[in-house]
A and B are shown apart, each in its own frame.
Chain A
Amino acid sequence: MNILVRKYLYGDIPEDNSGGQPQSKNNGSNDWPLWEVFIRNKQGLDHKHVGSLHAADAQMAIENARDVYTRRMEGISIWVVESKYIHASNPDEADSMYDPANDKIYRHPTFYHLPDGLTHI
């Protein structure tokens, strides 16, 4: 028995030069663009990011999102936005960005000590 493949990543699927490599191939104009999907699962709640999909236009993105992300009554409203329009904060700057908020404990109600008898506050 000649065993060529050695490395197993997921269960019984071997790695032998298989699978893609990272690359930044420009989207051919025939590839459908990527969309981010946001779903409100109940009236009164915020839309929440649930995932992404490819579609030719917004209409198709909403229809596909319905089929993929709301097959079990997970939503009553869908937003889609083309992924290229999403801007994100830089994770490398997370320290300087969020740290200053950390020592402002007086922004929290528990910072203030009040007598036990006081109610409704």
Chain B
Amino acid sequence: MHEEKIFQDKLDREIKIEPQDWMPDAYRKTLIRQISQHAHSEIVGMLPEGNWITRAPSLKRKAALLAKVQDEAGHGLYLYAATETLGVTRESTIEDLNSGKAKYSSIFNYPTLTWADIGAIGWLVDGAAIMNQVMLCRTSYGPYARAMVRICKEESFHQRQGFEILLTLSRGTVAQKEMCQDAINRWWWPSLMMFGPKDDDSPHSKQSMDWKIKRKSNDELRQQFVDICAEQVKVLGMKIPDAELKWNEKKQHYDFGQIDWEEFWNVVKGNGPCNRDRLEARKKAHEDGDWVRKAAMAHAKKSKHKKQQTKVG
């Protein structure tokens, strides 16, 4: 088929697919799901961190956390806008999240128990997200790739502020050091799960690779992440909670232990510690904002009407 050939030819030559271009239905559907779920993750991701904004230990930390959370809202917006270019409305996308139909990254179903969690999230969770997002800067769909470039530029401050929080704690009192290690212990494994199931267990991601939506496999990205973190943790003088973590001279990579996939599936299926809270919070925000959206629209219509009348008069 002619159109199919043009599409494939663009992929082969690393030319981006743009909204007006012909694309296979399945490609479009895959993108709608992936980009909107990515958007939902940015939005829900504000909740665990938002939990600490009012309790940040200093004005500097508070300002930084506020700025980071605001960035995440922006990331959500860039991605929702990219989703819309594929022919879905913003309203229906958000409706899918609020009705529980659409998923978001499971990492945000874990609670933030101490201030150190904010550090661990910045270092590990944003770190893992960056790994994924850097890869997605080269994704084949133009609007998605452009959103990713913008997002990646903003992300590096997120990770650095997180690491700095942990670094400060790691040089503090015994209690602060313990708090730091405890946060790393709790966030390490869920962060590794962020990359998704093992390659053998995600047979469909091959199609995404063929379409050049995804450019690296789950396991590749995860390995890259482990290699980097295993070195960075030394700067903190902390430990990664994995007895099997060991440098493998032959592979030139770190070996690491088994991920608890049972826990993973449990959280995915909605039984994580905070799944219900997160969704409730999103729904409440949406419902509480309803009158604001309506009032703004009514005001806009009214003032437009007024303007037209003065022109006539």
Residues on A lying within 8 angstroms of B by beta carbon are 1, 3-25, 27-32, 34, 51-54, 56-57, 60, 67-68, 71-72, 88, 90-92
Instruction: Report whether B204 and A71 are in contact in the complex, using a CB–CB cutoff of 8 Å.
Output: no
Cross-interface CB contact of B132 among A10, A15, A23, A57, cutoff 8 Å: A10
Q: Which 10 pairs between the two chains have the least Cβ-Cβ distance?
A: A19-B33, A57-B300, A9-B34, A56-B296, A56-B300, A7-B204, A20-B88, A22-B87, A8-B196, A13-B37
Report how far A14 CA is from B263 CA in the complex, Å: 15
Q: How far is the CA of A27 from the CA of B264 in the complex (A)?
A: 38
Chain A residues contacting B303 (CB-CB under 8 Å) are 57
Which A residues lie within 8 Å of B101 (CB)?
Answer: 17-19
| B88 adjacent to A12 (CB under 8 Å) | no
Closest-CB distance, B201 to chain A (whole angstroms): 8
Taking a contact as CB atoms under 8 Å apart, the answer to whether B202 and A22 are in contact is: no
Chain A contacts for B89, CB-based, 8 A: 23, 25, 27, 31
Interface size range on B against A:
35 or more
Q: How far is the CB of B262 from chain A (nearest CB, A)?
A: 6
Chain A residues near B296: list those with CB within 8 A.
Answer: 32, 56-57, 60
Residues of A within 8 A of B87 (CB): 22-24
Contacts A9-B34, A13-B41 known; 13 new A-B pairs at CB < 8 A: A6-B204, A9-B37, A10-B132, A11-B105, A12-B105, A12-B107, A12-B264, A14-B268, A18-B37, A31-B89, A51-B150, A71-B70, A88-B20
Let me know if B55 is at the binding interface, CB within 8 A: no
CB distance from B154 to the nearest CB of A (A): 8
- Of B36, B78, B102, which contacts A51 at CB under 8 A? B78
Of the residues B37, B147, B293, B304, contact of A10 by C-beta under 8 Å: B37
Residues of chain A within 8 A (CB-CB) of B36 are 19-20
Interface 1/0 per residue, B70-85 and A, CB below 8 Å: 1100100110010110
B18 CB contacts on chain A under 8 angstroms = 91
Give the distance in Å from the alpha carbon of A29 to the alpha carbon of B34 in the complex: 28
Specify which chain B residues have a CB less than 8 angstroms from the CB of A22 in the assembled complex: 28-29, 32, 86-88
Do residues A10 and B38 form an inter-chain contact, with CB atoms below 8 A?
yes
Would you call B84 and A52 a contact (CB within 8 A)?
A: yes
Q: Which listed residue (B146, B195, B300) contacts A12, Cβ 8 A?
A: B195
- Identify the closest chain A residue to B264 (Cβ): A12
Enumerate chain A residues within 8 angstroms of B106, measured Cβ to Cβ: 12-13
Q: Mark B269-312, 1 if CB is under 8 A from A, else 0.
A: 10000000000000000000000011011011001100000000
Partner of B293 from the list A13, A17, A32, A92 (CB cut-off 8 Å) is A32
Contacts of B300 in A (CB 8 A): 56-57, 60
B176 within 8 A of A: no
Asked if B203 CB lies within 8 Å of chain A CBs, one says yes
- Interchain CB contact under 8 A, B203 and A21: no
Q: Which of A20, A53, A90 is the most central at the interface, judged by chain B CB atoms within 10 Å of its CB?
A: A20
Decide if B91 touches A11 in the complex (CB within 8 Å). no
Least Cβ–Cβ distance between A55 and chain B, in angstroms: 8
**Given A20-B32, A21-B88, A88-B20: A12 and B74 interface contact (C-beta under 8 Å):** no
